[in-house]
């Protein structure tokens, strides 16, 4: 499963919304009515699922599904392992 | 005191080991069924006590949706389910009420112990950064009251009482006073508890407070019996709708009973053991009768605290004799804990519901497992089988660790 599919699955599960209502453009607060605790919980779920740590100042910038996918793709272990191998 | 503002019970909801429907709960009680059995909520094989009164087949996601269920600890889920049932049962339509005249007082002895343990485990295994942002709003003891007020949009008095096993009784007594003294016209009130967890079970077992009758769980809770050996840990919720009588009558509500008295006291004695003479419990009962301006000999049935501990049942019996004197022999008494086990901070809620149904339906539930009365336990505890009886005045007692004593008096509505 791609990062995008996994992120959308987590968002649907956490926010109780069907998959057809979630795209890359979906905004957690404006579209899914996530409150401040929901958004923190979403970030924790991403960290758990992708085995990464998202610093607070970075997590505050993740407001849409697309931003989450991009951040995870840039920082996930699979990626950094590959970078290490290349280096 | 404004005695012209009468308070009545118009709705009731339960979550118990004997079911989450009022009729199912009541028919189970009257049939003398036990809700106590082996614990399966987690692996209890290492524990000294391996049985209790657990709520089986609880599917919170199916009731509330996945997101809401995840954001409520089990104790708040029970409170929410019982509150929704009570409101439905009352027929109240909150859109027709002033929200600032309606409130919520739901007590709990411990609060969100499941959440506390789950998050503590997460923290130890994965570090503090993985602690859920919902940890505190789920575990706090007022989460049940807060969440129920949000659910129904109620904006009046809202609080949570934590007096251990007297929590629900104190919450309901306080709620009654809120309406009687004019702070509110309607209160959702009672108690909820979900402390069958590693720490809850282990902690109570460590105190030697629990029955260890692992080989025969349904027979373990035996209040006032010679062979009682401790209480049985149980979980659930009992929530009621208390309403200003004028308002309830005006909307044609079904009225189960009227709340007429509340008394509370402290033993000032020991953090867990009762005053052996039952003096604190007696003071609560006397205050309750005074508050109700009712003579002791008017009381016909007492739903006792009756936890099945050696000291507690004897102390309560002594207290009843002090308060009721010669009339004590005519009292009909039973302990609902003989069937449900001890719901701790929720017990007063389900027991006031049993008390109101006793009046409303003309049946007194029994004390099951009372085969041989214990020494000094020589009153009429309605042993083994339910009894048909028309009773007009019923008292419900609740006592808690810390030395808290609370008594409520209800009467047939006329």
- A60 has a chain B CB within 8 A of its CB: no
Cβ–Cβ contact A2 with B under 8 A: no
Helices (H), strands (E): how many in chain A?
5, 0
Distance of CA B72 to the CA centre of its chain: 20
Q: Which CATH architecture has domain B9-250?
A: 3-Layer(aba) Sandwich (3.40)
Out of A16, A36, A40, closest to residue B65 by CB: A16
* Best mutation target, A41, A45, A47, A53, to test chain B (most B CBs within 10 A): A41
Known catalytic residue: A25? no
CB of B285 closer than 8 Å to CB of B319? yes
Convert the pLDDT of each residue in B2-57 to its tens digit.
568 999 999 999 999 999 999 999 999 999 999 999 999 999 999 999 999 999 99
Strand order in the sheet with B404-411: B158-159, B102-107, B186-193, B236-244, B7-15, B257-266, B404-411, B393-400, B301-303, B332-334
In the prediction, which pLDDT does A80 show? 45
Considering only CB atoms, A41 lies closest to which of B66, B129, B133, namely: B133
B134 in contact with A, Cβ within 8 Å: yes
Chain B CB contacts of A15 under 8 Å are 67
Mutation for A interface: B67, B119, B140, most A CBs within 10 A: B67
Q: In terms of residues, how long is chain A? A: 87
CA distance B167 to B165: 6
Question: Does residue B311 carry a pLDDT above 70?
Answer: yes
Q: How far is CA B216 from the centre of its chain?
A: 25
Could you give the 3-state DSSP secondary structure of residue B8? strand
User: Which structural domains are found in chain A, ordered by start?
Assistant: 3-86 (1.10.1200.10)
**Chain A interface test: which of B61, B63, B72, B129 (most A C-beta within 10 Å):** B129
B150 touches chain A (CB under 8 A): no
Given the residues A16, A35, A56, A70, the one annotated as active site: A35
| Nearest-CB residue to B134 (from A15, A37, A47) | A37
Judge whether residue B294 has pLDDT over 70.
yes
The per-residue pLDDT for range B48-73, each reduced to its tens digit, is: 999 999 999 999 999 999 999 999 99
| Subunit contact A16:B133, Cβ cutoff 8 A | no
For residue B191 the two structure tokens come to 């108690």
| Coil, strand or helix at B102 | strand
Burial label, B273 (beta-carbon count in 10 A; 0-12, 13-18, 19+) = middle
Same fold, B9-250 and B260-411: yes
pLDDT value, residue A76? 84
Is A48–B137 a contact, with Cβ atoms under 8 angstroms apart? no
Pairs across A and B, CB distance < 8 A: 22
Take residue B410 and report the two structure tokens written for it: 């209800």
pLDDT (tens digit, 9 = 90+) per residue, B248-272?
999 999 999 999 999 999 999 999 9
Count of beta carbons in the 10 Å neighbourhood of residue B272: 14
CATH number (3.90.105.10, 3.40.47.10, 3.40.50.12500, 3.40.640.10) of B260-411 reads 3.40.47.10
Q: Encode pLDDT of A28-60 as tens digits.
A: 999 999 999 999 999 999 999 999 999 999 999
Any idea which residue has 């007594």 for tokens? B173
With a pLDDT cut of 70, the percent of chain B lying above it is: 99
Choose the catalytic residue: B288, B342, B377, B393: B342
- Per the CB < 8 A criterion, the answer to whether B241 and B9 are in contact is yes
- pLDDT value at residue A78: 55
Q: Do B199 and B117 form a contact (C-beta atoms < 8 A)?
A: yes
Q: A7-15 — which CB contacts under 8 Å span 24+ positions?
A: A7/A46, A7/A65, A7/A68, A7/A69, A7/A72, A8/A65, A10/A42, A10/A45, A10/A46, A10/A49, A11/A42, A11/A65, A11/A68, A13/B66, A14/A38, A14/A41, A14/A42, A14/A45, A14/B67, A15/A42, A15/B67
- In this prediction, residues B347-355 reach a mean pLDDT of 98
The reply to whether residue B66 touches residue A37, judged by beta carbons under 8 angstroms, is no
Q: Please say if the pLDDT value at position A83 is more than 90.
A: no
Query: How far is it, in rounded angstroms, from Cα B371 to Cα B405?
Result: 28
Structural tokens at position B106: 């739901």
Domain boundaries, chain B: 9-250, 260-411
């Amino acid at each position: 499963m791609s990062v995008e599919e996994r992120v959308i699955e987590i968002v649907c599960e956490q926010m109780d919304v069907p998959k057809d209502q979630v795209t890359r453009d979906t905004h957690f607060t404006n579209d899914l009515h996530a409150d401040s605790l929901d958004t923190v919980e979403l970030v924790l779920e991403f960290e758990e699922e992708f085995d990464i740590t998202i610093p607070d100042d970075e997590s505050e910038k993740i407001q849409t599904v697309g931003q989450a996918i991009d951040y995870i793709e840039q920082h996930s272990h699979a990626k950094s392992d590959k970078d290490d191998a290349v280096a | 005191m404004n005695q012209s503002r009468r308070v009545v019970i118009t709705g009731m909801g339960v979550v118990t080991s004997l079911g989450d429907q009022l009729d199912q709960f009541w028919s189970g009680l009257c049939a003398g069924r036990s809700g106590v059995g082996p614990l399966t909520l987690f692996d209890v094989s290492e524990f000294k006590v391996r049985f209790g009164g657990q709520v089986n087949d609880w599917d919170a996601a199916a009731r509330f949706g996945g997101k809401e269920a995840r954001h409520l600890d089990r104790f708040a889920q029970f409170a929410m389910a019982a509150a929704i049932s009570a409101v439905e049962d009352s027929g109240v339509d909150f859109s027709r009420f002033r929200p600032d005249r309606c409130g919520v007082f739901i007590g709990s002895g411990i609060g969100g112990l499941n959440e506390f343990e789950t998050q503590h485990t997460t923290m130890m295994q994965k570090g503090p950064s993985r602690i859920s942002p919902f940890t505190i709003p789920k575990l706090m003891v007022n989460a049940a009251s807060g969440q129920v007020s949000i659910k129904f949009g109620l904006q009046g008095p809202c609080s949570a009482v934590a007096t251990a096993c007297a929590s629900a009784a104190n919450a309901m007594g306080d709620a009654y006073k809120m309406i009687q003294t004019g702070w509110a016209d309607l209160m959702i009130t009672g108690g909820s508890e979900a402390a069958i967890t590693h720490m809850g079970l282990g902690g109570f077992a460590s105190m030697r407070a629990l029955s260890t009758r692992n080989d025969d769980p349904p027979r373990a809770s035996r209040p006032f019996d010679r062979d009682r050996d401790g209480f049985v840990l149980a979980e659930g919720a009992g929530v009621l709708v208390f309403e200003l009588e004028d308002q309830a009558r005006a909307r044609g509500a079904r009225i189960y009973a009227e709340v007429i008295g509340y008394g509370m006291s402290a033993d000032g004695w020991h953090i867990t053991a009762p005053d052996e003479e039952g003096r604190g419990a007696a003071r609560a009962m006397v205050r309750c009768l005074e508050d109700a301006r009712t003579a002791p000999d008017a009381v016909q049935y007492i739903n006792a605290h009756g936890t099945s501990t050696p000291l507690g049942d004897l102390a309560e019996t002594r207290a009843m004799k002090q308060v009721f004197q010669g009339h004590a022999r005519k009292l009909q008494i039973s302990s609902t804990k003989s069937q449900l086990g001890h719901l701790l901070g929720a017990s007063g809620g389900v027991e006031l519901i049993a008390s109101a149904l006793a009046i409303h339906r003309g049946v007194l539930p029994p004390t099951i497992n009372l085969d041989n009365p214990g020494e000094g336990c020589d009153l009429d505890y309605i042993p083994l089988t339910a009894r048909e009886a028309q009773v007009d005045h019923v008292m419900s007692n609740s006592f808690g660790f810390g030395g808290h004593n609370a008594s409520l008096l209800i009467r047939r509505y006329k």
